[in-house]
Structures are given as C-alpha cells and as structure tokens.
Amino acid sequence: MTTIKRIAILTSGGDAPGMNAAIRAVVLAAHHYHIDIIGFYHGYNSLVCADNINQAQLLTLGDVNNIIHRGGTILKSARCLQMETEEGLKQAAKTLTSENIDALIVIGGDGSFHGLLALKVHWQGQLIGIPGTIDNDLDSTDFTIGFATAVNTAIEAIDKIRDTADAFERIFIVELMGRHSGHITFNVGIACGAEQVLSFENFSVEDKQTKLQQLANEIKSAQENRHSSYIIVIAENLWPGGAIELAKELKQEASIDCTACVLGHIQRGGSPVPKDRLLATKMGVAAIQAIINGETNIMIAEQHSAICHIALEQAVKHHKVVNQQLVDAQENILALTAQNQY
Ligand code: F6P
C-alpha cells in the first residue's frame, strides 16, 4: 500500500508526438494504485503563476480516453523563463505544496529537466522526468518520445520531394529540426538516400568556404554523369542563414540552382508511430512505479530495450551524440556517389 496520494504532471518545451500516450499511461497506472493525477497546463507556467486557478485539474480516465494516437499534448506546452529565477522557483514550490502534491512528473527535454533540478532546492517532493523531445538529444536514453515519429514524418516528406525533384532533375536543400543536434538529420538523410547530409557531426562553420566549393564540385559532377535529382539534407542552426542562404550561395558562387525547403514544425506534429506509443506507455508506467518505490531526481530512460533510471544530473550533463556508425555509413556512401560509381 503506497502513501502517495497526489502526483502532478506537466508537459514542457517543444511538444513531441507520444506525449499524450505518456500522459495516458501515467493516469492509467496511477488509477491502478488509487493515486490522483493532477494535470498542470501550459508547462511550468501553471506552477509559477500564483493564481493557478483553472490551470490545474484532476485527470480522469475519461480525460485520457482515445488520446494515445493524438499528436501534441492535451496539457498544452510552453517554455517558461520564470523557472530560471529564484522567485519563479519559490512560487512553483509553493503551488505544489499548497496543492498537496507528493511527486511531480515532467515530460520534456533537457531545458525542462534543468527546471526540475532547480526545483529540487526549493521543494521536497519526488521529481521525475520523462524524456519527450523530437530532438533525441538526451544522454543515457536510447530514444526520446517523439523522435521516431519526427523521423518518419520527415522521411515521408522528403520521399515526396524526391518524386518531384526526380521529375525535374532538380537539386533540393531540405532543412531539418534538431536544435543543435543531428539525430533527425542523419537518420532521415540516410533513410532517404540523400546525396548529402550536412550536420554538426561532419561540418564546422569555419570550413564553410571549402564546403561550399566541395558541394558545388560534387553536384556538378553528379549532374554531368547522371541526370537525376540531388538532395542535400541540412540540420537547422548549422549553416549561417540556413538552407535558404546555402541555396543563394550555391547560385552566387557556382551558378547552381537549388530549391530550399525548410520542413519546420511539421516534424513536431502528427499521430505518434507505434514505436513512440510503446515507449511512452512503458515510460509512463515506469514513472508511477518509480514514485511508489520512493525514487526521486531521476529520468526514466530506455537502454537496450530495458527501462532504467538515470540521475537527472547525468541526463542533462552532455548532449547525446549521433551514432558514429551512421556518420561513417554516410561518408562511405558519399564516397561512392562522388566517384559516380552509382
Ligand atoms: O526542441 C524541439 C524543437 O522542435 C527543436 O527541434 C527546434 O529547434 C525548436 O524546438 C523549435 O522551437 P519553437 O517551436 O519554439 O520555435
């Protein structure tokens, strides 16, 4: 029999497909143990807002009925700068105490987990993070909720771009999300057979001029040898001015016509793929079990298909790097295309 009675839950930062599935799992698992789940709306804002009336509500089984397949988050999401101030943190602690909350579950990325860590100094309740971000950049978990769906969405979009690019023998530069990490870019680029993958792992802005020349040479050589489409995928925040600027520079420096496409927030939306629904469900249930077992200051993670607990400090210490085998695979494939062997 647990002494836990009320658990708060919120979603914070960039929403990710599968957040709803995680909320649902938390509510269903808590119900099993006769624990109330209080949903706080608009990320941490509902905690730091002194007048949080209408910003928090008991989540019933009915509230989470038929949401496993829905993108976005029923709790809404936001970024909250007040969580970086002493005043905001104190208010958040006060809200949790006045609502008789025993534990707080936050579904989000590293910024959201920094908020949890800061809160630890001001509030004695249990703190649990569930990794939910399309960026997949949290260390110590193989995958974050939302990544698989974002990759799938981007692949579907680029496959369509490929059709029209092929028909017109056009060059496309497609910019993908990921903030400062290349997980989406590398996975999508390779899965789409992109001729070039440009990301933080294989490009540094100091080499911009050399890269521009190299790209121009490789595009020209590919076009001379085989008339067909050419797709460059590029991580956002990598090239100064992004895909649009790169297209302009290729035109100015090498008279190459490229069409730039910034895929943007389409990558954040849509129905979660099965992998995200399953990951979210396992993590949501694990969060409730961890709270009942008295755990705190942890992120629920998955490593080699097994759920585990990682100290929050560890989870935010480093950004997860892209698998080197993926980077190497792209290099090898690129070498073949550059030699026109395929
Ligand atoms: O962290 C998720 C993410 O979608 C990043 O990939 C992207 O850089 C950022 O959020 C965009 O944030 P916003 O929607 O606030 O512009």
Q: What is the pLDDT of residue 257?
A: 97
pLDDT, position 223: 86
Closest to 73 measured CA to CA, from 59, 94, 86, 84: 59
Q: What is the pLDDT of residue 114?
A: 97
Average pLDDT of the residues of the chain: 95
pLDDT at 53: 55
* Mean pLDDT of the region 35-42: 97
Q: What mean pLDDT comes out for the span 175-188?
A: 97
- 260 Cα distance to chain centroid: 23
Q: Which residues contact 84 (CB under 8 A, 6 or more apart)?
A: 118
Per-residue confidence band for 2, with pLDDT thresholds at 50, 70 and 90: confident
Is 15 one of the catalytic residues? no
pLDDT over 80 (residue 41): yes
Q: What is the pLDDT of residue 175?
A: 98
Sign of torsion, CA 134 191 198 168?
Answer: negative
CB within 8 Å of 132: residues ≥ 6 apart: 11, 15, 16, 18, 19, 22, 107, 108, 109, 144, 145, 146, 280
Checking if the pLDDT of 66 tops 80, the result is yes
- Residues 119, 123, 124, 126: is their CA dihedral positive or negative? negative
> Is the beta carbon of 131 within 6 A of some atom in ligand 1?
no
pLDDT tier at 178 (50, 70, 90 boundaries)? Answer: very high
Q: Is the pLDDT of residue 52 over 60?
A: no
- Can you tell me the distance from the alpha carbon of 342 to that of 339, in angstroms, rounded to the nearest whole number? 8
Ligand 1 binding pocket includes 109 (Cβ within 6 Å)? yes
Q: Which two tokens stand for residue 104?
A: 């707080």
Q: Choose the weakest-confidence range: 19-23, 51-55, 244-248, 265-269.
A: 51-55
Residue 342 has pLDDT above 60, yes or no: no
Give the pTM.
0.96
- Give the C-alpha separation, 174 to 231, whole Å: 7
pLDDT at 301 over 60: yes
What pLDDT does 190 receive?
A: 96
Which residue, among 273, 271, 267, has the nearest Cα to 153 in the 3D structure? 267
151-186 CB burial, b ≥16 within 10 A, e <16: bbbbeebbeebbeebeeeebbbbbbbbbbebbbbbb
* Residue 231 buriedness (CB in 10 A; 0-12 / 13-18 / 19+): buried
Pocket test for ligand 1, best of 268, 316, 320 (most atoms within 8 A of CB): 268
Q: Is the CB of 39 under 6 A from ligand 1?
A: no
Which is the closest atom of ligand 1 to the Cα of 179? 8
Order of strands across the sheet that contains 230-235: 196-198, 230-235, 171-176, 259-262
pLDDT grade for 332, boundaries at 50, 70 and 90? confident
Within 10 angstroms of residue 95's Cβ, the number of other Cβ atoms is 22
Token pair listed for 45 = 């804002």
- Determine the distance separating the centroid of ligand 1 and the alpha carbon of 14, expressed in angstroms: 5
Catalytically annotated residue among 15, 102, 110, 135:
135
Using the predicted structure, report yes or no on whether residue 254 has a pLDDT greater than 90. yes
Q: How confident is the model at residue 90 (pLDDT cuts 50, 70, 90)?
A: very high
CB 161 within 8 A of CB 229: no
The per-residue pLDDT for 341 is 54
- Ligand 1 centroid from CA 151, angstroms: 15
Of 9-13, 44-48, 221-225, 330-334, where does mean pLDDT reach its minimum?
Answer: 330-334
- Provide mean pLDDT across the span 149-164: 98
Q: What is the pLDDT of residue 227?
A: 72
pLDDT band at 55 (very low <50, low <70, confident <90, very high): confident
DSSP 201: T
**Cβ 135 under 6 angstroms from ligand 1:** yes
Residues ≥6 apart with Cβ < 8 Å to 322 = 181, 182, 183, 186, 199, 201
Listed in sequence order, the residues at least 6 apart from 105 whose beta carbon sits closer than 8 Å to its beta carbon are: 7, 8, 9, 10, 26, 128, 129, 130, 287, 291
Nearest to 273 by CA among 146, 92, 87, 103: 146
